[in-house]
Structure 1
Amino acid sequence: MGESADGSTAAQGAPDQGDSPESNGSRGFFGRILNAFNGADQEDESEDGASGDGHAPHHAGLGALRRLRVGDIAIPKPEIVAVPVTISKEDLVAVFREHGFSRMPVFKGTLDSPLGLVHLKDLALQYGFDAQAPRFGLRQMLRPLLFAPPSMPIGVLLQKMQTDRIHMALVIDEYGGVDGLVTIEDLIEQVIGDIDDEHDEQEGGFWTQEKPGQWLVQARAPLEEFELAVGRRLADEEEGEEVDTMGGLVFMLLGRVPARGEVVKAESGVEFEVVDADPRRIKRLRVRLPGAGI
């Protein structure tokens, strides 16, 4: 791996060619954010967040690019979904299907020895459409990923990702071990808020019924509206006064932000499975009423 002047490093691997059209099309968007980030250094901001000319900043979350560090927003190591370089094609497909990610780190032996990342698009193009595809080999599909210290400002890492067209970075501790993971989506969300992914678009609303007694629900779904939809009270009177969303209800039941895959069971027997979450917030839930089955 090579180290850049700003302290980040990139793992050696195949060029990130698969993202070329995507990156070219989004360059203007990233450029506007980064230009605003660089220009923000020239503005005098008062303690209440107003700029020196008396007007509010154009981007409410823009200051996060300078204020927050990579370690503040990284997914912790125990929650990183990664695969060994020796994984079979069938098992790799199963991991992609289970977690719904488009890219994952690849390691040799342990996650502290990362080799690069594998992109779902590369797997599909090379092995998904041709029955006579060559013998499976994960190494030949590896793309580079970045390495960053936890103290790096997220704006610096965002600029590095945009320049190198590498959209995933591993956070490295002082001993050279992996401490966390950050994607470009994590960085952008610090400025503009949550970004709905393709799964959110398919839902077409706050929730969708998967089968009788079971729903896939966005964490920001209004609690009272969902209760009316399923015809059942999920929160008691005291809880209902404290929280307004489904994610807030699960947080109150558990007393912390749960990890992805964790199941929270209420006294009523209703189960809340955390389908998607990061260290700061819950994103999607699977709600299962008593008797719905698995």
Structure 2
Amino acid sequence: MDITTRNAGFFERLSALLVREPEDREQLIKLLRSAHQRNLLAADALGIIEGALAASEMSVREVMVPRLQMEVVDIDDSLSEIVARVNTTAHSRFPVIDGDRDNVLGILLAKDLLRVEQADRFNVRDWLRPAVFIPEFKRLDVLLREFRVSRNHMAIVIDEYAGIAGLITIEDVLEQIVGDIEDEYDFDETDENIQVDHAGGHRVKAQTTVGEFNEAFATTFSDDKCQTVGGLVLRHLGRVPRHNETVDIEGISFQVLRVDSRRIYTLLVHQPPVAA
């Protein structure tokens, strides 16, 4: 068989692959990945398409910043306290609460503080923007469309009992669609919450429940105050930890491997050796 014949056969198979209509989402993704392997679709474009497809199946609860990790401003905070919080967190929007996180009064924009002329007469209530409340089961693609129409950038997430479950921003949603393309072996993309680390210890996702962690490490941490390992570390510190910061809780060492300004993603856990 000469080169011309082989090329003709290849293009016929490729045309058949691209023309054939996929019957379900799985076949569509396989078709797109096949196009990428044949250099017909760039890796970035493939990642965005896959992210958009995934967003249509993900709920707000899977992406939101949990209640315990929310950076908030209290209605009684002074201007200096709020400015210090803005400088520390570098956030642009803050839910304003009245004593309790279940009592969200509105949203404060950091840029509005630049227009404050008299600090001694500052009152947070004068600068509040309306808060948008959404259920935790809302789909990300629906929320993104609502963000675009309303021009809101933040929504407060409520659970089925109308309690505050967390918050979500438009950046959180877009990150799921156009975020960095992770390595196929990246730990955050695996189904397992706990894995042995090649350098020793165990890699643990912050979303791992306290019960699952106790079962794996034979510990007795209580889940009365927090449900996840990430929440356990946050509650112990009282703040969001820094990258590579190590926290010792009841003899267990938690090293923060991946974190941003609002949430913990991955921890490296070391357990002391058991005495003979």
TM range (shorter): 0.5 to 0.7
The aligned counterpart of 2:12 is none
Equivalent-residue separation in structure 1 for 2:111 and 2:259 (angstroms): 23
Question: 5+ unaligned residues in a row in structure 2: which ranges?
Answer: 1-21, 37-45, 187-195, 207-229, 235-239, 267-276
In structure 2, how many angstroms separate the alpha carbons of the residues matched to 1:272 and 1:178?
26
For 2:29, what is the secondary structure of its paired residue?
Answer: coil
Corresponding residue for residue 82 of structure 2: 92
Which amino acid in structure 1 is aligned with residue 104 of structure 2?
P
User: Larger relative CO (CA 8 A, sep 6+): 1 or 2?
Assistant: 1
- Describe the shift of the 1:265–1:80 C-alpha distance in structure 2 as closer, same or farther (beyond 3 A): closer
Task: Tell me, yes or no, if structure 1 residue 122 matches structure 2 residue 106.
Answer: no
Instruction: Say which of 130, 134, 145 aligns to 2:131.
Output: 145
- CA distance in 1 between counterparts of 2:25 and 2:258 reads 39
Question: After superposition, what is the alpha-carbon deviation per residue over 1:262-288, rounded to whole angstroms, capped at 9, x for unaligned?
Answer: 64169xx9x769762655735xxxxxx
Which of 43, 53, 61 is residue 51 of structure 2 equivalent to?
61
Change over 3 Å in CA distance of 1:90–1:273 after alignment to 2: farther
Does residue 112 (structure 1) correspond to residue 96 (structure 2)? The answer is: no
Contact 1:146 1:170 in 2 (8 A): yes
Task: Give the deviation of 1:174 after TM superposition.
Answer: 1.2
> Which residue in 2 is equivalent to 1:264?
246
- 1:82 corresponds, among 44, 67, 72, to 72
Match of 1:169 among 155, 158, 161: 155
Whichever residue aligns with residue 276 of structure 1, its letter is D
1:87 Cα shift? 1.0
CA 1:125–1:68: 2 relative to 1, 3 Å: same
Identity of aligned residues (%): 31
Q: 1:8-41: CA deviations, max 9, x gaps?
A: xxxxxxxxxxxxxxxxxxxxxxxxxxxxxxxxxx
Match of 2:273 in 1: none
Distance 2:246 2:163 in 1: 32
Take 1:272 and 1:44, find their aligned partners in 2: how far apart are those partners?
39
CA 170–81 in structure 1, closer or farther in 2 if over 3 Å, else same: same
Instruction: Show the counterpart of 1:291.
Output: none
Q: How many angstroms apart in 1 are the aligned matches of 2:157 and 2:177?
A: 20
User: What is the one-letter code of the residue matched to 2:25?
Assistant: E
Q: Are residues 1:45 and 2:25 paired?
A: yes
Distance in 1 of aligned mates of 2:89 and 2:261: 12
* CA displacement, residues 38-65 of structure 1 (integer Å, 9 cap, x when unaligned): xxxx99533461459x756562211122
Equivalent residues of 1:84, 1:109 under 8 A apart: yes
Aligned letter for 1:177?
G
Residue pair 1:70, 1:154 contacting (<8 A) in 2 also: yes
Is the contact made by 2:73 and 2:96 (CA closer than 8 Å) also made in structure 1? yes
Query: What secondary structure is seen at the aligned counterpart in 2 of 1:174?
Result: coil
Q: 1:142, 1:185 → 2: CA distance?
A: 21
How many residue pairs get matched? 187
Amino acid at match of 1:255: V
Residues 150, 102 of structure 1: CA spacing in aligned structure 2 closer, same or farther, 3 A cutoff? same
Q: After superposition, what is the alpha-carbon deviation per residue over 1:95-152, rounded to whole angstroms, capped at 9, x for unaligned?
A: 112222111100123111111111110012224xxxx567101111111232111111
TM-score by length of 2: 0.56
One-letter amino acid matched to 1:72: E
Distance 2:92 2:154 in 1: 11
Which residue of 1 is the match for residue 6 of structure 2?
Answer: none
1:255 matched to which residue of 2? 204
Amino acid aligned to 2:93: R
TM-score normalised by length of structure 1: 0.53
Q: Deviations over 1:218-247 (max 9, x none)?
A: xx9xxxxxxxxxxxxxxxxx95xx37xxxx
- Which structure shows the bigger proportion of residues in helix conformation? 2
Provide the aligned C-alpha RMSD in A: 3.8
3-state SS of 2:68 partner: helix
Aligned counterparts of 1:278 and 1:95: Cα–Cα separation in 2: 13
- How far did 1:169 drift? 0.8
